Structure 1
Amino acid sequence: MDKILYIRMRHRIQARPNQTITIGDVGQLVGDDEVVSQVSGIAIHQVNRSDKSIVVLDIMRVLKELRKADSELDVQTVGPAQTIVEIVYKTKQFRPMFFAAVWLLLFLGAALAIMNFHEDVSMRIVHQKIFKTITGLDDDKPLLLQIPYSIGLGLGMILFFNHVFRKRINEEPSPLEVEMFNYQQDLDMYVIMHENKESSKQTDDH
């Protein structure tokens, strides 16, 4: 009976400095239990300082090591051909002052952006006209409209971003999460194209 192994490369994994990355780390393996246990511990890369923060491991390196271990093994690949290895160094400690400074900067920036937008579209004049249309009275500060509008603006932002602090309102991703996902996909594609040493060949000009 032929020994068949199905392997699907994981899109992204994390590793520690000096860690030995095995086939079981970078791929999902399906096959006979004996075959899977035999090949899952095969090392394909040793993380070192020259790797910096990202390494791209290609399916061809995996196939090469599998052929060394068992030349009669029938390997069937499924899915992506590369795995991005993100090397996680020592996590930085939480800095309250840095967090407060960033929060204050973002808060002031968002507040100024909202105020400048309302000034550009003459929102105060619009509120005055709406208030006069409804009540027939002139009021330079129609608080009966401005206060509910301000509350609604905040609630609208919460609904738009689909988060209350760390709690998600529903399972639907927010537009910001979708944009971050698209950005991450483009970034991963760039890394795969430029960091994968197996996918490019250069000539040495002397």
Structure 2
Amino acid sequence: MEIVYLRMKKSITVDKLQYVKLKHIAYTSGPAEIKSELEDTLIYRITPKDNNIVIVDSFLIVDHLSKLWSDLEFQLIGPQQTIIRLEKPKKDISVLVVAFVWLLLFIGTAMTIMNFHYDVSMQEVQQKLHFLLTGEHSEFPLWIQIPYSLGLGAGMLLYFNHWFKKRFNEEPSPLEVEIYNYQQNLDQYVSHHENRLNDKHVPD
């Protein structure tokens, strides 16, 4: 009996109601002469009753494939489930909404930075630094404050590793790592709480 290895994909995204084939949710390794036909096997039918997320369990996949391919032995490796996300059509974003959100974030970020510098008495520190270096008192040591402000902005760009859509290097930013960890936790949650694959969705 030929052996076929299946490795479920952690998650996929679809943008419309459709049939999901084996190649969409799993990687396969098996006899070359049947691999193409096997990958085109219909696994799941997305219906309007499905919510934004559907969980496909690998054991039900193996059971379904075993009925269709009784001469093959299926072995699972890797993830036990695939999360299918139904992506809704994106609406055009209003320029006014973008401008409002940008302004809100700009003001919020500015207030955060100013409050932080006030808490740590940054102006007094810069004044004392100016006195130590020059021996003169100055309420606004601009030759320190201006480079510091520019360096603060440049440091934020390097920290987030982005300039609009351009990346400075292939290393993920701390924000991307946090988003990835959040996505992993979200996937684990929905795997236990969302509806699993139902037999009525599996094509005959």
Q: TM-score, normalised by structure 2?
A: 0.92
Partner of 2:31: 32
Partner of 1:74: 73
Deviations 1:164-186 (A, max 9, x none): 11111111111111111111111
- 5+ residue gaps, structure 2, are 198-204
- Superposed, 1:1-206 pairs within 5 Å as 2-197=1-196
Task: Give me the whole-angstrom Cα distance separating, in 2, the residues matched to 1:29 and 1:58.
Answer: 16
Deviations 1:55-84 (A, max 9, x none): 010101211211111222111111101000
SS of 2:12's partner is strand
Partner of 2:202: none
Task: Give me the whole-angstrom Cα distance separating, in 1, the residues matched to 2:85 and 2:196.
Answer: 16
Deviation at 1:157, TM superposition (A): 0.7
Work out whether residues 12 and 25 of structure 2, in 8 Å CA contact, stay in contact via their aligned partners in 1: yes
Task: Give me the whole-angstrom Cα distance separating, in 1, the residues matched to 2:16 and 2:163.
Answer: 36
Work out whether residues 3 and 35 of structure 1, in 8 Å CA contact, stay in contact via their aligned partners in 2: no
Task: Give me the whole-angstrom Cα distance separating, in 2, the residues matched to 1:180 and 1:70.
Answer: 40
Deviations 1:45-104 (A, max 9, x none): 111122121101010121121111122211111110100001112122132111111111
Question: What residue identity is the alignment partner of 1:85?
Answer: I
Deviation at 1:144, TM superposition (A): 0.9
Task: Give me the whole-angstrom Cα distance separating, in 2, the residues matched to 1:139 and 1:94.
Answer: 48
Deviation at 1:196, TM superposition (A): 4.8
Structure possessing the higher relative contact order (Cα contacts under 8 Å, 6 or more residues apart) = 2
- 5+ residue gaps, structure 1, are 199-206
**Which stretches of structure 1, 4 residues or longer, exceed 2 Å deviation after superposition?**
none
Q: TM-score, normalised by structure 1?
A: 0.91
Work out whether residues 14 and 86 of structure 1, in 8 Å CA contact, stay in contact via their aligned partners in 2: yes
Q: Which moved more, 1:93-102 or 1:131-140?
A: 93-102
Work out whether residues 39 and 69 of structure 1, in 8 Å CA contact, stay in contact via their aligned partners in 2: no
Instruction: Let me know the Cα RMSD of the aligned residues.
Output: 1.3
Partner of 2:200: none
Work out whether residues 17 and 48 of structure 1, in 8 Å CA contact, stay in contact via their aligned partners in 2: no
How many percent of aligned residue pairs carry the same amino acid? 45
Q: Which moved more, 1:79-88 or 1:44-53?
A: 44-53
Equivalent pairs counted in the alignment come to: 197
SS of 1:84's partner is strand
Task: Give me the whole-angstrom Cα distance separating, in 2, the residues matched to 1:90 and 1:48.
Answer: 16
Q: Which moved more, 1:43-52 or 1:115-124?
A: 43-52
Work out whether residues 57 and 81 of structure 2, in 8 Å CA contact, stay in contact via their aligned partners in 1: yes
